[in-house]
Amino acid sequence: MNDKLDPAPNYAKAQFSGQIITITKDAEIAPAMDFLKEQRIIGFDTETKPAFKKGEYYGVSLLQLATDDHALLFRLHFLKDFSLLKILFEDKSVVKTGVAIRDDIKALQKLFHFTPHGFVELSDIAKERSMKNFGLKGMTEEILNLTLSKKAKLSNWEAHDLKNDQLQYAATDAWIGRKLYQALNP
């Protein structure tokens, strides 16, 4: 009798291949919003500098919003005017989707007030459908047969310049949320 477990599937790596746009100035927000408000579905995620000491806390550093071929990365600590983001986040007609978004929304609300509308938590859909996985990486494997690298997760998101692997990671995490939503809602 063979008691060996089946080896884990060898999934291809999920990687965003579209255009990554980094927004570091208030003047860059309006053109980004003009583009995003025309979208029906936007992948949504945030990143925060990790804290490694007890009592250490950092606010959200990066907001990622992605379409099929564009990832807009908002470097929040460089920005001051969040009024256009507020309009998008309160727009019921634009779906903003991702995993574990409740904490992301709360962190953003510490930066600027908005009443969230149009946000869809993918793990809720996974639970309703009795899926095995509720996290972004597990859902990506279960639904899309792709894997996500989480190497850059614990990097410094407040660095003056983000490295290419951070940009790619951030863009992919938001984009994959959109892909999962589309797969779950054909």
pLDDT digits (tens, 9 = 90+) for 73-127: 999 999 999 999 999 999 999 999 999 999 999 999 999 999 999 999 999 999 9
pLDDT tens-digit readout, 129-161: 888 878 888 889 998 988 887 776 668 899 999
Q: What's residue 2's pLDDT?
A: 47
Q: Which two tokens stand for residue 167?
A: 């940009």
**Is a pLDDT exceeding 60 seen at residue 6?**
no
- Topology classification of domain 18-184: Nucleotidyltransferase; domain 5 (3.30.420)
How do the domains of the chain map onto residue ranges? Answer: 18-184
Can you give the pLDDT at residue 50?
Answer: 76
What pLDDT is recorded for position 1? 45
Mention every residue, 6+ apart, whose C-beta is less than 8 A from residue 90.
114, 115, 116, 117
Which amino acid, one-letter code, is at 24?
T
pLDDT digits (tens, 9 = 90+) for 31-73: 999 999 999 999 999 998 876 678 777 789 999 999 999 999 9
CB neighbour burial string for 102-128, b if at least 16 within 10 angstroms, e if fewer: eebbebbeeeeebebebbbbbbebbee
Nearest to 166 by CA among 71, 88, 39: 71
- Judged by DSSP in three states, 108 sits in helix
Only one residue has tokens 């727009």, namely 91
Instruction: Count H helices and E strands in the chain, helices first.
Output: 6, 8
State the chain's mean pLDDT as an integer: 90
Cα–Cα distance measured from residue 160 to residue 101, given in angstroms and rounded to the nearest whole number: 25
Give the pLDDT band of residue 8 (cuts 50, 70, 90): low
What pTM does this model have? 0.90
